[in-house]
Amino acid sequence: MIVSMLKAKLHRVSVTHSELEYEGSCAIDGMLLDHSGIREYEQIQIYNIANGERFTTYAIRAEDDSGIISVNGAAAHLAKPGHLLIICAFVGLNQNEIQNFQPQLVYVDTENKITKTSRSIPVQVS
């Protein structure tokens, strides 16, 4: 059995561009791709914190250290500059692979610069 597991997460990145007249995809600062392990052309899930929209597209590499998060094509209707997003990639693993697997989590500041990385999500109890 193959289980779909969280591979990588970019947490609370800010949309810098929204380009409707573009073929499609989401351009992501190359350093964010490198640190998260998300590959160019890999399928990603995007969750818009500002409006609750959830959609699927693929990642393309933007200039390193540019801070760019550009939502392109039809998805530009779903995310505008200034919106906060969570961008996730998933991987299919078998039971043996799951035992030692941990996702790569990347956290950023308001300019999409990395503030920390982690391999686990802290449990928050209210």
Domain presence at residue 74: yes
Active site residues: 25, 58
3-state helix, strand, coil in the chain (%, to 5): 15, 50, 40
Based on the structure, what is the number of domains in the chain?
1
CATH code of residue 66? 2.40.40.20
> Which residue range is the domain that position 81 belongs to?
2-95
DSSP state of 37: T
Domain presence at residue 73: yes
Q: To the nearest whole number, what is the mean pLDDT of the chain?
A: 96
- pLDDT tens for each residue of 66-117: 999 999 999 999 999 999 999 999 999 999 999 999 999 999 999 999 999 9
Domain presence at residue 8: yes
Give me the pLDDT at residue 61, please: 97
Domain presence at residue 124: no
Q: Of the ranges 11-15, 20-24, 82-86, 107-111, which one carries the lowest mean pLDDT score?
A: 20-24
